[in-house]
Amino acid sequence: MSLEEEEPSQLDLLKRHKVYSCTVFTAVILMTLAAFSLLIFYLVLSHWGPRFGVISTLTKLNKLNLEKGNLLNVNITLVTNFTNPNKKAAVDFKHIVVELYFGQTIVATKNVEPGLSAAKGGTGSVEVDMLASKVQLFELEIQRLKNEMLKDKILFEVKGRFLAQSKFWRHHLRYSYHMHGQCTLTFKKPPLGVLVSTKCKTKIFKSFF
Ligand SMILES: *[C@@H]1O[C@H](CO)[C@@H](O)[C@H](O)[C@H]1NC(C)=O
Ligand SMILES: *[C@@H]1O[C@H](CO)[C@@H](O)[C@H](O)[C@H]1NC(C)=O
């Protein structure tokens, strides 16, 4: 008779019961931990996560023209600013992508080298040169740009997508999350090219450990 065919003895049943209780206990512990971590996340990060912005005094529209009447050439020095209002955790930025839009048209994209971080309650900033040449705009956008050049008020949109990581409890607990930041920037025409107004918002997009 092989082992598999044997009727389970009382002892086996008792063992199985023990294994089962142990599994349930572990599952409950794990679920409690997960719930606790989520709670921490919502309490600590949702209102205190890093904020995406630009440093107005350093951001400049260096060059802007419409070639052959409809192809856009742009050179913007953009200094993005990541503020960490959280006093409990520093933030490391693992991956940052910055996109420049005029209306619906994506004008330029830049990957920022990792290595940026913001200390507890601190700020990290990085300069990104947004360059574009001969970008085809939609007919309505061309009209809009010509209007804005006349009024000396040129609006661009900047989107920042970044993967951030916060570390708690002397780096024992790490939390990673994707964030999206978006700014509407209003410039004066070059050669002045100063940034006259900025409106930004940031939201947590997706989170995971
Ligand atoms: C960074 O951006 C924040 C807004 O998110 C702003 O209040 C702060 O002054 C900026 N820091 C610098 C150095 O400009
Ligand atoms: C963009 O503008 C900056 C500031 O004027 C200048 O230093 C840089 O060379 C320009 N880049 C290109 C590709 O024209």
Reported pTM: 0.76
Beta strands in the chain, from DSSP E residues, in sequence order: 51-54, 60-67, 71-83, 91-102, 105-112, 116-118, 123-136, 154-168, 173-187, 195-208
Q: How far is the CA of 130 from the centre of ligand 2 (A)?
A: 10
d(CA 136, CA 66): 10
Q: What is the pLDDT of residues 13-63, one digit of tens each?
A: 778 888 888 888 899 999 989 887 777 666 565 556 788 999 999 999 999
Q: Has residue 192 got a pLDDT over 50? A: yes
Q: Which ligand is nearest to the CA of 129?
A: 2
Q: Which residue from 62, 65, 192 has its CB within 8 A of the most atoms of ligand 2, so it is best to mutate?
A: 62
Q: Has residue 151 got a pLDDT over 60? A: yes
Q: What is the pLDDT of residues 126-149, one digit of tens each?
A: 999 999 999 999 999 999 999 999
| 158 — pLDDT class (breaks 50, 70, 90) | very high
Query: Which ligand 2 atom is nearest residue 129's CA?
Result: 1
Q: Report helix, strand or coil for 18.
A: helix
Q: Has residue 105 got a pLDDT over 70? A: yes
Residue closest to 167 by CA, chosen among 94, 98, 111: 94
- Beta carbon of 194 within 6 Å of any ligand 2 atom: no
Q: 185: which residues sit within 8 A by CB, 6+ positions away?
A: 54, 59, 155, 156, 157, 158, 195, 197, 198
Query: Which ligand 1 atom is nearest residue 53's CA?
Result: 5
Q: What is the pLDDT of residues 62-95, one digit of tens each?
A: 999 999 988 999 999 999 999 888 887 888 998 8
